[in-house]
Structure 1
Amino acid sequence: MPQKSDISNSDILFPYSNIRDGQKEFLNDVNTAVNEGKILLAHAPTGIGKTAASLGGMLNYGLKNNKVIFFLTPKHTQHEIVIETLKKIKEKYALKFIAVDIIGKQWMCMYPDTEDISSNEFNEFCKAKKEHEECEFYKNAHPKKNESNIADGIKNKLKNSIMHSEEVKELCSRHNICPYEIIIECAKDANVIICDYFHIFSKTVRDTFLTRIGKELNDSIIIIDESHNLPERLMSLLSHSISEFSIDRAGKEAENVGKIYLQEAVLNLKKILVLFGKELDNNNEIFMEKDKFVAAVEKHIRKIDGPANCLKITGKFLGSWNMSEPGFARILKKEIRKDATGRYRDYFSLYCNCLDPSISTSEIFNACHSAVLMSGTLIPLEMYKDILGIPDKRAMLKEYKSPFPKENKLVMVVEGLTTKYEMRSEEMFKKYAENINEILKHVDGNIAIFFPSYKILNKISFFMKEIQDKSDKNFTFAKPILLEQQDMTKEDRMELYKKLI
């Protein structure tokens, strides 16, 4: 049960009047970790109040000791609760501090349709616009001395109030100013920065980002939300692949930009891939020796790079393949697909897959002042400590109890239902719809239903409505069905979520 938050530790800034069971222990552990320069791995169940406890336990230390707090989340939608928590702390304790919310530059760009292109294409587009002084939004964010300086007014507003990145984007759009540049300028003075995992854990992004905002890792306190996602996200970031399809696209791009030598290099790369593919025989995949492929590439190919997307991806793959670090699996794979004539044939791909996320994380956890990794599913804690390369002498491993009574959680398994591919049928979807409708009849509150794909969602929701329309006239379903659609924008999804809660 929630209790009065009679917290005697003056270092703690807790935003609420009541504190939940388990939350006080978590709050004190966070405060201990930041004061002792430790890294806390916290398995903290849903509902314990992780955001308030982590910020409440660390913020005062950061402000007093000139440390910047990076609050990292895997999704943009999770930034809002961090912002609201910081606002409550600021109001309750009448504090002065600067907090900024940063998302990727591409998602803040004022040019239309930039969200629909690849990140490589966007980076080239943005770079060219700035270098040729063609981006009015960038120029308006950095006006010359004799020009109207609306940008400074927006920066002052952002420094004095905590704003979501979407709010900043909307404000900047009124004056044709680049919101990303405004936020980056404010981040130079920020005490708290809310951003994505990649801002800290991608070396190329981190080096540029920290240099621009003038921050150092050893003066950083890092809070990682939903940190059970971190290993997979980083292994994906560090993994690269090429296929016959991507090589063909790279060849087309080389032709389009008039680079004959690149066309020849790409053609030779495909020949090498197909030649090695013949070694698969009856196997679908085999481990590939690094040096064997490197020798073939060095013999027949010069450097592959260029302004286009697939050329960059191909060049990046070749660079990653040649890395000396352990922790990568190099795999040659065969798939049978139809070609342009409709005939089936073998297609080959090469993968350089990262199996060790500590390649990216160990440097961070050795350098930062302190960190909290928190999740409702961060178990076994010892495993996460090891695979993320967290030093034993710095690690604090803590598991907290759920604040909710066990009897409040009912777990049921319905036999005879499956979304296994070979078992999918109209009849199976109807059975799902019947069972869900039966649950709707007996649950008073709102219900969230999660499906493995939009196709299955649409099938089952269709049969749910069909059954409801044919149901007994004496019984009516009081709950409207709110459907998430695949083409919804982030704003559409947030509106749907607000209707549910």
Structure 2
Amino acid sequence: MKFYIDEVLVVFPYEYIYPEQLDYITELKRGLDHGGHMVLEMPSGTGKTISLLSILVAYLNHHAEEKRKVVYCTRTVEEMVKTMEEMRKLMHHWEVEGASLQPLRGICLSAKKHLCIEPNISQYPEEVDPRCREVTVPWQRSNRCPFYDTIEESPVDLPPGVYSTDDLKQLGHTHGVCPYYLVRRALKAADIIVHSYLYVVDPIVSEVTKEFLGENTILVMDEGHNVDDVCIEAMSLIYTKKDSFDAKDNLKALGRELDHMKATNRQQLQDEYNRLVNGLAIAQMAREATDVRHITQAPEVPAALAEQAIPSSLRVASHFLSFLQRLVDYTHRIVTRVSRTYVADPLTFLSKVREECSLEVSHFRYLAERLKVLLTTLQITQTEKFRPISLIAQMFTLLSTNYTDDRYEKPSFVVVCEAHDPARPLVPDPVLRCVCVDASLALRNVFAKYRSVILTSGTLSPLDIYPKILGFTPSVSKSFQMTLSRKCIAPVIITRSSESMSITSEELTSSFKVRKDEAAQAIVTSAYESLLFELSRSVPDGIVCFFTGYQYMGEILLQWHSSGFLQELAKNKLIFVETQGVEETSVALANYRHACDIGRGAIFMSIARGKIAEGIDFDRHYGRSVVMFGVPFLPPNDETLRQRMHWMEVCLGISESEFRNFDAMRQASQCIGRVLRNKTDYGMMLLVDRRFGLNDKRKKLPAWIQQNLKENTNLSVDAAITVCRSFFREMAQPWAHEKDLGTTLLSKKTLQKMGRMSPSEPPTAVGGEGTPSIAGSDPVSGGRDERQDEVITAVREPGQHKRPREC
């Protein structure tokens, strides 16, 4: 269908649209008109992706003269593929509807291992980057990659269309060009770019795209509920004891390579020195050294610093290696001699380095780029072997460019040195961490540069905490609810066992009272057994269980195995378990789906924050019930987390307890949201822990879950089973989707009555700037002025229950 949002023609690739989708599209369009950043929470499985793409394509088409670009960020490759499929379907419907569409190019930018077509390289997915470099560096004369050389000699232009990774690989085979570098060269002409978060938050990877993106770019962060964790991880470094020994070996190898070049090609070293001494900016030299971006990881140098000439102590290659030698020796002493946890701010740490090594701290800022230039000059191909020395250079570059000598200003980094892994306190495993505690550091330039950044997900509650953590002020902040003709989701909170005793879940430490108390823990385990066994008898097809972590899941499964409960449970449904091995988990997931397909039924045991919780959908019969055993709190003995939470409490006013509750509830919401992928789907959501019923946690659930929770917030196991049986009995009744027309499904006729089939003038404003749309409203009502019971969902034609799925 096609309709208008104010003056913009929108094509939607389904026969019907949900009221929530219409509200969501309208909010997006007016937010883009108004400018500024948006935080929008849309219920899981309600067509967020197609709604986003529909308005974005329509907006680009309507404002074609502005030549704006859209950057669509996803978490995983699977989500990237789904997005490209939705985009292709949308473009096709523009043709079907006979609407005028300006030529658009939608491309998918992914890692080399997903795009490489060179047979001798692509067969080793984990080694694609180093093997690619070996056959593409300028000094390699034989055994070069023919696909790379072809695109260098005769570039191929991408015609308008949608190009997924498979399309790009097919195009590469057809024209004999490298798909990865074909995409890199197409970035300038592309209108919609789909890639992972790393191309935005990682200061190294972002160099690939940022030069092609202007300030009017529309940046979408889909499934952005964990974007702060992605930022922290991208900006932090870990340096182990093994790395300290390998870095020493790296320096020796560089010394040998330098001596060899002095004997065979001294002129090349002289040319490098001349360029440095003549004041050529080091960042420019690093960029010109080679087009291959895997020489060494070098963080972005501030613009003012990048234009300065390199210090004299780093110009001569041998002097530079001596400079690095002092830093390597110093870090080696720290890592090998640490006996307790040590925490220092960058100023304290660097001051100690200056005293012991007699080095100028300001020169540290050039280390990463200078190392990159040296590796190119020495024509070193296997740069992955020099990762340890690259970590040293990168760590000191980060610390020196992000520290302050103001004692009253809290730094964005801390240095943490630990003698052992917190999860294994009795095993010596020293490590030095350069920890970023300010998530906004990775996105500060993004929010400052781009006119519109859209942060959206199904689990963003409470909406006010993300702007604080990421350091921006949204112009629109809104949570949408879900309109349902029948109650197809049934969330319940179980707080008591059958013996009317409270069920208290534990974190991954032995400090919790219940974990220490064998009698109390036996009651908890028994309650879990009763609940899961009755669910296996009452719930059809698949059940997904989430635990707080591998350790807790292992303890529970071990107790169940010892008592013989797993054998009894397997008589009702087959049991599969997520492990830390990716391949094992993939096989278990495939077998789980097969068991559901053939009607045998299955139970999948998984953990919060794992691969299953973040990237796998259990739609339809693959997930008729999801159980969250315990509240997935962050580990309390992690020093890096303590430092981050201390920084947020001091600088942002977010207390440690508030952040722990927020993080735990967003993880729990993400887990239980896996079972609902569209309105024709249905499933039970069981939160098994008395703490879920506490107000400070229950109110942090998304509004679309709260609206269906209602009175089921303090149930016993027996009461929950009764609710479960009643729910599935109701869901088994025939349902005519014609009943949804005009209420939860809007047709063309309904849209015509609403005045959406012809253009109209847009409103003059979208509310007060910087004032969230949902501010001051009830979290369940969502602050809506119209259709108080409406929400957002993906539209699917009546009777269309199946969709392509991916493992």
Q: Which range is displaced more, 296-305 or 23-32?
A: 296-305
Alignment partner of 2:434: what SS?
strand
Which of 342, 351, 358 is matched with 1:285 structurally? 342
**Partner Cα distance (1:483, 1:174) in 2:** 42
Kindly state the Cα deviation for residue 105 of structure 1 after the two structures are TM-superposed.
2.5
Question: 1:138 — aligned with what?
Answer: 147
Q: Does 1:57 pair with 2:55?
A: yes
**Partner Cα distance (2:552, 2:168) in 1:** 35
Q: Does 1:30 pair with 2:28?
A: yes
How many residues align structurally? 472
**Partner Cα distance (2:182, 2:45) in 1:** 35
Q: Does 1:295 pair with 2:354?
A: yes
Question: 1:47 — aligned with what?
Answer: 45
One-letter amino acid matched to 1:61 = Y
Cα distance change, pair 108–450 in 1 and its aligned pair in 2 (3 A): farther
Alignment partner of 2:542: what SS?
coil
**Partner Cα distance (1:273, 1:470) in 2:** 55
**Partner Cα distance (1:170, 1:493) in 2:** 31
Alpha carbons 1:385, 1:395 under 8 Å: kept = no
Pairs within 5 Å for 1:389-468:
389-390=471-472, 392=473, 395-404=475-484, 408-413=489-494, 415=503, 420=508, 435-450=531-546, 452-453=549-550, 456=553, 460=557
Q: Which range is displaced more, 435-444 or 294-303?
A: 294-303
Q: Which range is displaced more, 296-305 or 90-99?
A: 296-305
Cα distance change, pair 351–167 in 1 and its aligned pair in 2 (3 A): same
Which of 568, 583, 605 is matched with 1:488 structurally? 583
**Partner Cα distance (1:454, 1:336) in 2:** 18
Question: 2:419 — aligned with what?
Answer: 335
Question: 2:446 — aligned with what?
Answer: 364
**Partner Cα distance (1:257, 1:29) in 2:** 57
Question: 1:351 — aligned with what?
Answer: 433
One-letter amino acid matched to 2:477 = L
Question: 2:105 — aligned with what?
Answer: 98
Q: Does 1:385 pair with 2:460?
A: no
Mark the structure with the bigger radius of gyration.
2
**Partner Cα distance (2:420, 2:17) in 1:** 58
Question: 2:304 — aligned with what?
Answer: none
Which of 222, 225, 237 is matched with 2:234 structurally? 237
**Partner Cα distance (1:61, 1:16) in 2:** 19
**Partner Cα distance (2:136, 2:152) in 1:** 18
Q: Which range is displaced more, 443-452 or 255-264?
A: 255-264
**Partner Cα distance (1:275, 1:254) in 2:** 16
Cα distance change, pair 407–39 in 1 and its aligned pair in 2 (3 A): same
Q: Does 1:196 pair with 2:196?
A: yes
**Partner Cα distance (1:493, 1:467) in 2:** 20
**Partner Cα distance (1:228, 1:57) in 2:** 22
**Partner Cα distance (2:236, 2:132) in 1:** 20
**Partner Cα distance (1:88, 1:399) in 2:** 27
Alignment partner of 1:23: what SS?
helix
Alignment partner of 1:372: what SS?
strand
Alpha carbons 2:241, 2:336 under 8 Å: kept = no
Question: 2:181 — aligned with what?
Answer: 181
Structure 2: tracts of 5 or more residues without a match: 96-100, 259-317, 376-382, 405-410, 498-502, 595-621, 623-804
Structure 1: tracts of 5 or more residues without a match: 146-150, 338-343
**Partner Cα distance (2:214, 2:551) in 1:** 41
**Partner Cα distance (2:555, 2:160) in 1:** 45
**Partner Cα distance (2:586, 2:67) in 1:** 36
- TM-score under structure 2 normalisation? 0.50
Alignment partner of 1:409: what SS?
strand
Kindly state the Cα deviation for residue 115 of structure 1 after the two structures are TM-superposed.
3.5
Which of 217, 221, 228 is matched with 1:220 structurally? 217
Kindly state the Cα deviation for residue 325 of structure 1 after the two structures are TM-superposed.
4.7
Cα distance change, pair 160–488 in 1 and its aligned pair in 2 (3 A): farther
**Partner Cα distance (2:108, 2:67) in 1:** 19
**Partner Cα distance (1:221, 1:133) in 2:** 43
Which of 390, 409, 413 is matched with 1:312 structurally? 390
Kindly state the Cα deviation for residue 336 of structure 1 after the two structures are TM-superposed.
5.0
1:153-196 Cα shifts (integer Å, max 9, x gaps): xx65xx45534314533664687642212333343322211101
**Partner Cα distance (2:446, 2:576) in 1:** 42
Alpha carbons 1:5, 1:17 under 8 Å: kept = no
Alpha carbons 1:73, 1:79 under 8 Å: kept = yes
One-letter amino acid matched to 1:333 = C
Alignment partner of 1:410: what SS?
strand
**Partner Cα distance (1:177, 1:350) in 2:** 43
Cα distance change, pair 107–130 in 1 and its aligned pair in 2 (3 A): farther
Alignment partner of 2:492: what SS?
coil
Cα distance change, pair 232–112 in 1 and its aligned pair in 2 (3 A): same
**Partner Cα distance (2:356, 2:75) in 1:** 37
**Partner Cα distance (2:574, 2:584) in 1:** 21
Alignment partner of 1:378: what SS?
coil
**Partner Cα distance (2:349, 2:128) in 1:** 29
Alignment partner of 1:87: what SS?
helix
One-letter amino acid matched to 1:287 = A
- TM-score under structure 1 normalisation? 0.77
**Partner Cα distance (1:252, 1:60) in 2:** 56
One-letter amino acid matched to 1:440 = S
**Partner Cα distance (2:177, 2:487) in 1:** 52
Pairs within 5 Å for 1:64-83:
64=64, 65-83=66-84
Cα distance change, pair 25–430 in 1 and its aligned pair in 2 (3 A): same
Q: Which range is displaced more, 303-312 or 429-438?
A: 429-438
Kindly state the Cα deviation for residue 247 of structure 1 after the two structures are TM-superposed.
1.1
**Partner Cα distance (1:116, 1:382) in 2:** 40
Alignment partner of 1:22: what SS?
helix
Kindly state the Cα deviation for residue 373 of structure 1 after the two structures are TM-superposed.
0.7
**Partner Cα distance (1:92, 1:245) in 2:** 56
Alpha carbons 1:100, 1:192 under 8 Å: kept = yes
Alpha carbons 2:20, 2:481 under 8 Å: kept = yes
Kindly state the Cα deviation for residue 20 of structure 1 after the two structures are TM-superposed.
2.4
One-letter amino acid matched to 2:204 = T
Cα distance change, pair 470–355 in 1 and its aligned pair in 2 (3 A): closer
Cα distance change, pair 182–407 in 1 and its aligned pair in 2 (3 A): closer
**Partner Cα distance (2:388, 2:336) in 1:** 24
Alpha carbons 2:68, 2:218 under 8 Å: kept = yes
Kindly state the Cα deviation for residue 209 of structure 1 after the two structures are TM-superposed.
2.5
Which of 16, 19, 22 is matched with 1:18 structurally? 16
Kindly state the Cα deviation for residue 31 of structure 1 after the two structures are TM-superposed.
0.5
Alignment partner of 2:80: what SS?
helix
Q: Percent identity?
A: 15
**Partner Cα distance (1:336, 1:202) in 2:** 28
Kindly state the Cα deviation for residue 99 of structure 1 after the two structures are TM-superposed.
1.0
Kindly state the Cα deviation for residue 323 of structure 1 after the two structures are TM-superposed.
1.5
